[in-house]
Chain A
Amino acid sequence: MAPDQIVFWVFAPVSVGSAVAMLFQRNAIHAALFLIVNFFTLAVFYLVLGAPFLFAVQIIVYAGAIMVLFLFVIMLLGVDREESLVERLRGQRPLAIVLGLGLAAEIFVTARASLGLARGPANFDETVNVGGNAQALSHVLFRDYFLPFEVTSILLIVAAIAAMVLAQRRERTTVEAAGEAEV
C-alpha cells in the first residue's frame, strides 16, 4: 500500500468520526473542538492530494481564524446553554430515512460511475506542481483568475464592514437623545 493510501485510511475514519461527534455534542464548545480536529484532518488530505499550499491555508484560515471566531461567539453567548436533541416535526424520521436511502443510492451509483474513470498513477508533482505548488497556484490565480481574486478582496472588505456595522451596539442614550433634542 502506498504511503498516501495509508495516510488516507488512517485519517478518513478520524475525520468522519470527528464530524459525527460534532453533531451529537450538546455543548457547543465541544462541538467546536471536534470541528477543529476535522479541519486538521482535511488539511492532511490536501497535503496528500498534492495541495500543500491549501494545507497551510486550511490550518491558518479555518483552524486559526474561523474557529477562533466561532469560539469567541460561543463564549459571548454563554457556554452553559444546552439544547435538546429531540426532534419536533411529526413523521420526520421515516421520511428522512427514505430520502437518506435515496441519497445513499445516488452516491453509490456516482461512485461506481467514477470507478471507470480510474487513471494511471501519473505523478501530480511533475506535471502540475512544477517549481512548487504555491508557484503553480499563483500562476493560474494571478493570470486567469485575477478579476475573481480582486472581487473576492472586495467581498472580504464588505463582509468585514458589514460584520462591524451589524454587531455594533447602538448608543441609545447619546444618539437618540441628540435626535430628540433636535426635534
Chain B
Amino acid sequence: MIRLPLVLFFSAVLFSTGVYGVLARRNAVLVLMSIELMLNAVNVNLVAFSQFWHDITGQVFALFVIAVAAAEVGIGLAIVILIYRNRETINVDEVNLLKW
C-alpha cells in the first residue's frame, strides 16, 4: 500500500504545476490544459483518500469530476474558437474587453 502522504505530496506538486500553467501561459488552449492538470490532481487525491478510508465514495466523486471536466472542455474550447473567430487571437492577454 502506498502511503497517503506520498500521494498527497505528489498530487500537490501536480496541482501547483497546473496553477503555474494557468497563471503563466497565455495561449488559451494551454490554459485549459493546465486546468485539466489541476482537475486530475484533485482526482488523484480523491482516489487516494478513497483507498485510505476504505470508502468507495471518493471514486464516485472522481467519476463526477471527470464528467464535469469533459463538459467544461467542450464549452471552453467552443468559446476559444469563438474568440479566435472574432478577435483573430487566442492570447488571453489580448482578450481584455471586460477589463476595467
Contact = CB atoms under 8 A, between A and B. Distances in A.
A10 interface: no
Interface string A68-81: 01100110110001
A122 interface: yes
Interface string A113-136: 011011101101001110001001
Given A62-B66, A141-B60, A70 B74 contact: no
Given A19-B37, A23-B20, A23-B25, A73 B77 contact: yes
- Where chain A touches its partner, the secondary structure class is helix
Contact of A45 (B1, B44, B54): B44
Contacts, number: 194
B5 A111 contact: yes
A16 B73 contact: no
Contact of B29 (A19, A74, A124): A74
B61 to A, nearest CB: 9
A167 B81 contact: yes
Nearest to A120: B1
Contact of A38 (B40, B47, B57, B67): B40
State which size class the interface on A falls in: 35 or more
Given A31-B33, A57-B66, A83 B27 contact: yes
A42 B6 contact: no
Interface of B: 1-10, 12-14, 16-18, 20-21, 24-27, 29-30, 32-34, 36-37, 40, 43-44, 47-48, 50-52, 54-57, 59-60, 62-64, 66-75, 77-82, 84-85, 90-91, 93
Given A77-B80, A145-B64, 16 more contacts: A15-B10, A19-B14, A32-B33, A38-B14, A45-B47, A46-B44, A51-B59, A57-B66, A73-B77, A140-B56, A148-B64, A152-B67, A155-B67, A156-B71, A163-B78, A166-B75
23 contacts: A2-B1, A5-B2, A15-B10, A19-B37, A22-B37, A31-B30, A48-B2, A53-B59, A54-B66, A58-B66, A62-B69, A65-B70, A69-B73, A100-B16, A115-B5, A118-B4, A128-B56, A156-B67, A156-B70, A159-B74, A163-B74, A163-B78, A167-B81
Interface of A: 2, 4-5, 8, 12, 15-16, 19-20, 22-23, 28, 31-32, 35, 38-39, 42, 45-46, 48-51, 53-54, 57-58, 61-62, 65-66, 69-70, 73-74, 76-77, 81, 83, 85, 87-88, 100, 103, 107, 110-112, 114-115, 117-119, 121-122, 124, 127-129, 133, 136-137, 140-141, 144-145, 148, 152, 155-156, 158-160, 162-164, 166-167, 169
